[in-house]
Amino acid sequence: MAGFLSPSAAQDAEDRASLISVKSVAPSPDTLTKLIKRLRALTLTLLPVEVDPDSINEPTSRVITPQVIAAFRAAAGDFVEALPYCLLRARAEFMWDANHNPADYGENRGRAVACEVLARRIVHLAEPDRLATIMSTRYRHRQVDGDASEMGSALEVAIDQHCTIFLSSSEAQEVVQQLWSGELIQVNNEAHDIEYVRYDDTREHSFWGHLDVSRLSVPRYQNIFRIIVWLIFLGVFSQAVREPLDKLDANLRSFDQWEVVLYIMSLAFIFEDLYKFFKLLRFVTWRAFSFWNVIALITDSILLAAFILRVLGIRAHGDPVLRLQSFQVLSYAAPFIWMKIVTVFDGYKYIGTMQICVARMLKESGIFFALLSVLALGFTQGLYALDAADGNAESPSAVVHILVQALLQAPDYGRFEPNSPTLVLYYFWSAVTAIVLLNVLISLFSSAYSEVVDDAEAQYLAFFASKTVGMIRAPDSYVYPAPFNLIELVFVAPFEVIPGLRLSQKHYAKLNRFVMGTIFFIPLTIIALFESRFARNKPNAWLNNWFRGDDEGADFDTPASRNPTVDDPNCDGLQISKIPFEEIVKVFPNTQLSSEAVILKEIDALKKQLEALTKALEARA
């Protein structure tokens, strides 16, 4: 009746799933949609009523039991490797139902959490050699409108939904670390689909095998290169904004040398961001955009506006007004440029958690600014109408300045002393903003901060996964980090897009390898030396361990650690393992089961004993 729950049946099913890999079968969107619907039906049957999400996520949950996990695995049939992806898709649908049906929000929220927890537990049961395939294989499903969805893997779907429970698992982080260090690399096919393969399977483990231009696309090296370039850009920007002080000639009709470097690097950053936005919109989804993408867009717009004004000023024979406006606009970019330096150190947990808190606070502040904008419009109209009642009104901009000053705790009450009704309305505005709206903002910030800090570990791991996958998500076979992407744009890209100059795929690859090998010879040599000589799995990994430290508990679960022997001559005849390890652990409670499950198990054992005793009495009678 429930043979699929037995260990032997589960093992046989997993063996069949390994022999008939989903990656080789390549199920169609319709097939996966049918599996998603089946999983939704199972989840609805499992949770017909509202259940606390915290109780679902407990390690010894009475809802997500080993029997339930085995049932969901059996429900996938021969498509077990696609099961985490389908469960996360079911989670997205339950969250959509929750957000669009407030009356059943609690029920659907619990079902969404159950799908995510099931996906995590099922990945935990996967074979280690199949883990990367399960997490990185990309699928499609059929959307509500009948169109096929964009390609996505279980890892990408979890990142898009910010699934902290799934992304904080050791299995997900193992794959993320492999992507971060370049052990897993992406291979782009002609259909712009991405396949992940192990780098060691494509190259020999030697210096020349790792001297490869594709290693520049590894997120770890991209991050280091970006840090160095961005610190240089900060120095150049700091010198460029001093140009009006260093050169007092207002009629200077040429760029300063620092300005030349600044705008060349700015142009490179603009092209890099535009290319990234285009790739994300074309191949991924708008959900891949984050708070820092908005900051990059604002920074690029300010730098571009400053550059345009500077060029117009030079063409206008050194117009001092345009020159002044150019440097004024350029000054507005300083806060955003220095703000982005936070991303340089987001590899540290404290800085990364702080970055998450800031982004969440700004997101939550949308409610505050929505209320503020509505009230501001009403008070602006009221104050302007009272001012215009005597037939002589100031400009609306003056009214806006007065309201902003009151919002920033610097009200000018003396301005409205001659007009008592206007002063009363101004008092009312000051009270509403200072007492009501600001307290609303403080409570929103406090709520956002507590949500992040209370679950800081999972939040940071989810953020790190998003950061890693975001660096490689937009497919690009040859990565030219800014500002060297301008070289690609001028000398390489024409041989790909211009019909008369277009090269074959083979010759275009040779051109890219020659250009990148020449430009990045020194970084590529350092990378190849590091990977071939100081890899963690090499005998001389002492340098890596010296920097990163050893895992103190890596070898605790061995026979020698369980029952150690004493070979100390000063302790002749003495023993540590007088009582074997196996005897000691017999008194330990079973922490893999909840208290309810333990009680039920004991009751079941008592039932069996009573049945045996009853049968024995009946036989004797």
- Per-block mean pLDDT, blocks of 10 residues, the chain (621 long): 47 46 69 91 90 85 87 89 92 92 90 93 88 85 82 88 90 88 75 70 72 84 87 89 63 75 90 80 63 83 90 77 85 87 74 79 79 86 78 74 82 74 84 83 83 81 86 73 86 81 82 87 87 59 44 60 78 78 78 71 86 86 71
Query: Burial, 468: exposed, middle or buried (Cβ in 10 Å; 0-12, 13-18, 19+)?
Result: buried
Contact 480, 488 (CB under 8 A): yes
According to DSSP, the residues that pair with 185 across neighbouring strands are 197
In the predicted model, what is the mean pLDDT of the chain? 80
Backbone angles phi, psi at 539, to 5 degrees: -60, -30
| One-character DSSP codes across 497-516 | H-GGGPPPHHHHHHHHHHHH
Among 319, 308, 332, 261, smallest CA distance to 482 is for 261
CB neighbours of 552 closer than 8 A, spacing ≥ 6? none
* Distance separating alpha carbons of residues 416 and 294, to the nearest angstrom: 40
- N-to-C CA span, the chain: 34
Task: List the structure tokens of 601.
Answer: 């198990």
State whether residue 448 is helix, strand or coil: helix
Per residue in 159-210, pLDDT tens? 888 898 999 998 888 888 888 888 888 776 665 566 777 777 667 777 777 7
Give pLDDT tens digits for 364-407.
777 788 888 888 888 888 888 877 776 666 777 788 888 888 88
| Distance in angstroms (rounded) separating the CA atoms of residues 467 and 514 | 30
pLDDT score recorded for residue 188: 67
Q: What is the pTM of this model?
A: 0.75
Spell out a b/e string for 487-503, using b for 16 or more CB atoms within 10 Å of the CB, else e: bbeeebeeeeeeeeeee
Q: Report pLDDT for 40.
A: 92
Amino acid at 545: N
The strand pairing partners of 138, in sequence order, are 153
